[in-house]
Amino acid sequence: MKVIKIAPRGYCYGVVDAMQIAREAAKNPDLPRPIYIIGLIVHNRFAVQELTDLGLITLDGPDRAAILDQVQEGTVIFTAHGVSPAVKERARERGLHIIDATCPDVTKTHDLVKDLVAQGYTILYVGKKGHPEPEGVIGEAPNDVFLVETVADVAALDLPAERTAKLAITTQTTLSQWDTRAVIDAARARFPHIAVYNEICRATQVRQEAVATQAQGADLTIVVGDPRSNNTNRLAQVAEEIAGSPAVRIESLADLPPDVLQGKERIAITSGASTPSQITREVIRYVEAQAQTAGPAEEKPNAGE
Ligand code: SF4
């Protein structure tokens, strides 16, 4: 059995920075307590647990404003996904100390949207409904930005004529390049003059391209990451739809289906941008051990061991 460790994989610069900002906050005795994280710092329960163990309180809820409503005092950390100006304003009004761990690539999209709206553009934003990143970006100009998720959403758009004269389309940072291209092409076909700003971040692009090329010919691609992580789910999609390799997404080694490696000649392994390296390392070590063992599969250790 050959094990293909897809590279690059795992933590991106935005997640590394957000985790570091949160760790430093936990160690700083001068910050007002309690320290809350507004939403999941990144979509990975192991990363969240690490910060909980340092004394930080992660709050979750339907949207960032609703989460913030649970906080009366102390410090709030905004996550890598970013927040809307209204949420920042509400935190200021409450007198909360604010630490902003928004990824610079997400901030760039916020700035782009503000700029385009100031120039009189109406914006189509390709993103995932219910995800915090679109919530924050659309919050920059809720009356001028329209969320579209699919080609069908573009076809169903019912914009008044004055809205379509100056039209732009931009995107969430963690989408599938291939799905997004189809949505942008549909928008271009319907509105040939639309200005296109593809904001899929570099980290997402290189991880997807690595899977598209390196997972080709693999009998199985194992994608390590949290089910709520958009970029993780997109990597599994790229493995299946672009590289043609069946994919299994697991949160950790404990999730690996018992017989999934049996009879496989080539196993590719990758992980989402929010997956801690040690979780992926455990999976790689286990699969490599299986590759060297001719006999029946060993019993798996529990994740974290
Ligand atoms: S996936 Fe991209 S946008 Fe999201 S945190 Fe990582 S680098 Fe930033």
Average pLDDT on 211-215 reads 98
The DSSP bridge pattern shows strands 266-271 and 2-5 to be: parallel
> Which band of pLDDT confidence, cut at 50, 70 and 90, is reported for residue 298?
very low
Please tell me if the CB atom of residue 101 comes closer than 6 angstroms to any atom of ligand 1: no
**Could you tell me the pTM of the whole model?**
0.92
d(CA 14, CA 105): 8
Minimum mean pLDDT among 44-48, 105-109, 178-182, 294-298: which range?
294-298
Please tell me if the CB atom of residue 122 comes closer than 6 angstroms to any atom of ligand 1: no
CA of residue 167 to ligand 1 center, whole Å = 26
Please tell me if the CB atom of residue 42 comes closer than 6 angstroms to any atom of ligand 1: no
- For residue 237, the model assigns a pLDDT of 96
Average pLDDT on 210-227 reads 97
| Matching fold, domains 2-11+203-292 and 13-103 | no
CA of residue 293 to ligand 1 center, whole Å = 38
- For residue 42, the model assigns a pLDDT of 87
- For residue 296, the model assigns a pLDDT of 47
Q: pLDDT for 257-274, tens place per residue?
A: 989 999 999 999 999 999
Please tell me if the CB atom of residue 173 comes closer than 6 angstroms to any atom of ligand 1: yes
Please tell me if the CB atom of residue 41 comes closer than 6 angstroms to any atom of ligand 1: no
Site to probe by mutation for ligand 1, drawn from 204, 205, 235 as the one with most ligand atoms within 8 Å of Cβ, is: 204
d(CA 102, CA 2): 39
- For residue 184, the model assigns a pLDDT of 98
Q: Which atom of ligand 1 is nearest to the CA of 174?
A: 1
Domain at 2-11+203-292, CATH from 3.40.1010.20, 3.50.50.60, 3.40.190.80, 3.30.930.10: 3.40.1010.20
pLDDT at 277 over 70: yes
d(CA 174, CA 127): 9
pLDDT at 301 over 90: no
- For residue 30, the model assigns a pLDDT of 98
Q: Give the whole-number percent of the chain exceeding pLDDT 90.
A: 93
Q: pLDDT for 26-62, tens place per residue?
A: 999 999 999 999 999 988 999 999 999 999 999 999 9
- For residue 297, the model assigns a pLDDT of 43
Q: Which of 24, 50, 93, 133 is catalytic?
A: 133
CA of residue 13 to ligand 1 center, whole Å = 7
Contact residues for 132 (Cβ-Cβ < 8 A; gap 6+): 39, 63, 64, 79, 81, 82, 83
- For residue 292, the model assigns a pLDDT of 87
- For residue 294, the model assigns a pLDDT of 47
d(CA 64, CA 296): 48
State the DSSP code for 301: P
Q: Give the whole-number percent of the chain exceeding pLDDT 70.
A: 96
pLDDT, mean over the chain:
94
Enumerate the domain spans of the chain. 2-11+203-292, 13-103, 105-200
Active-site residue 133, yes or no?
Answer: yes
Please tell me if the CB atom of residue 113 comes closer than 6 angstroms to any atom of ligand 1: no
Average pLDDT on 244-268 reads 96
Average pLDDT on 190-211 reads 97
CA of residue 14 to ligand 1 center, whole Å = 5
| Helices (runs of H) and strands (runs of E) counted in the chain | 12, 12
Q: pLDDT for 86-98, tens place per residue?
A: 999 999 999 999 9
d(CA 147, CA 184): 13
- Helix residue ranges, H only, the chain: 13-27, 45-53, 64-68, 85-93, 104-118, 132-138, 151-156, 161-164, 177-190, 202-214, 230-241, 277-292
CA of residue 15 to ligand 1 center, whole Å = 7
Average pLDDT on 1-5 reads 96
Q: pLDDT for 158-174, tens place per residue?
A: 999 999 999 999 999 99
Tell me the CATH class for 13-103: alpha beta
Minimum mean pLDDT among 80-84, 152-156, 295-299: which range?
295-299
DSSP 3-state of 269:
strand
Please tell me if the CB atom of residue 222 comes closer than 6 angstroms to any atom of ligand 1: no
pLDDT at 305 over 60: no
Average pLDDT on 106-131 reads 97
- For residue 293, the model assigns a pLDDT of 82
Please tell me if the CB atom of residue 6 comes closer than 6 angstroms to any atom of ligand 1: no
CA of residue 275 to ligand 1 center, whole Å = 12
Handedness of CA 51, 55, 56, 58 (dihedral sign): positive
- Fold topology of 105-200: Cobalt-precorrin-4 Transmethylase; domain 1 (3.40.1010)
